[in-house]
Amino acid sequence: MYLRILTSSFLLSLLPGCMESGYLVTSLAGDPGAAVRPAQGAGLRYTNHRPAATAEEIVPLRIGSFTPGHRAKILRAVNEWNGALNGFVRFTIVEDSGASAANARQSRPWSIMAAEGIGPRVVPGPTIALAHTQPLPGSGGLMIVYIDRIGTRDLGSVVMHELGHVLGIGHGEKGLMAALYHPTDQQCIDKATITAVAAKRRLTVDQLNWCET
Ligand SMILES: [Zn+2]
């Protein structure tokens, strides 16, 4: 564990560019709307447009060491994105084994890693980072989840937000891509989010899917 923290700190310290854009933060004063009970899927229905025949782009993900419960939440976020992306782009999970030599020509994966007990405070305001996503030069990158800060928050929502950054989009005013964690507004891939992805990747938004609330 200590080695892993050292490794991730070391890697982050080497990374260029603006570090703030990829952070999802939470307020130390508590989450907005935290008193409202999450709807737990009620009303979160996705559109169901005809899927593309084949994925035009595969985005490989490597999931680091998480508890089975945490891993399940990460996989839920990945599956929801694959449904929303509707076959035009597809996240695939790659294993950590040495089998990668055969796939040397495949693009480098994004690694989802847990870090404990560290993580920057993010200015402005009394906030702390829940997670951070940083591309690496060339391809792939790192998603660091500050796992001991998640608490009762939904790890699936946090990872779903960060996967938006993996796809190249920035923060929005509200909804999934808001920079400040919200317990009820970040439970699915909303139309503003998928519209931003479509614009970034030159896809047609009406061929993708989004949740309708
Ligand atoms: Zn973010």
Q: How far is the CA of 159 from the centre of ligand 1 (A)?
A: 10
DSSP track, 178-192: BSB--TTTTSS--HH
Residue 190, amino acid: D
Q: How far is the CA of 144 from the centre of ligand 1 (A)?
A: 12
* 169 belongs to a structural domain: yes
pLDDT at 88: 94
Q: How far is the CA of 108 from the centre of ligand 1 (A)?
A: 22
Q: How far is the CA of 181 from the centre of ligand 1 (A)?
A: 9
Q: Which residues lie below 8 Å from residue 130, measured CB to CB, with a gap of 6+?
A: 23, 24, 25, 26, 145, 146, 149, 150, 153, 158, 181
* 84 belongs to a structural domain: yes
pLDDT at 21: 54
Hey, what are 18's tokens?
Answer: 């603006």
* 3 belongs to a structural domain: no
pLDDT at 14: 38
pLDDT at 95: 84
Q: How far is the CA of 103 from the centre of ligand 1 (A)?
A: 30
Q: How far is the CA of 15 from the centre of ligand 1 (A)?
A: 17
Instruction: Output the tens digit of pLDDT for each of the chain's 213 residues.
Output: 444 444 444 444 333 333 345 678 877 777 776 655 544 555 569 999 988 877 779 999 999 999 999 999 999 999 999 999 999 999 999 986 555 544 555 678 999 999 986 666 665 567 788 999 999 998 899 999 999 889 899 999 999 999 999 999 999 999 999 999 999 999 999 999 999 999 999 999 999 999 987
Q: How far is the CA of 102 from the centre of ligand 1 (A)?
A: 33
Q: How far is the CA of 24 from the centre of ligand 1 (A)?
A: 4
* 195 belongs to a structural domain: yes
Q: Which residues lie below 8 Å from residue 13, measured CB to CB, with a gap of 6+?
A: none
> Can you give the CATH number for the domain in which 151 is found?
3.40.390.10
Ion ligand 1 neighbours (CB, 5 A) are: 24
* 42 belongs to a structural domain: no
Q: What's the domain range around 175?
A: 8-12+20-35+53-201
Give the count of alpha carbons within 13 A of 167, CB side only.
Answer: 32
Q: How far is the CA of 98 from the centre of ligand 1 (A)?
A: 31
* 43 belongs to a structural domain: no
* 172 belongs to a structural domain: yes
CA distance 44 to 42: 6
CA distance 201 to 169: 10
* 64 belongs to a structural domain: yes
Domain count, the chain: 1
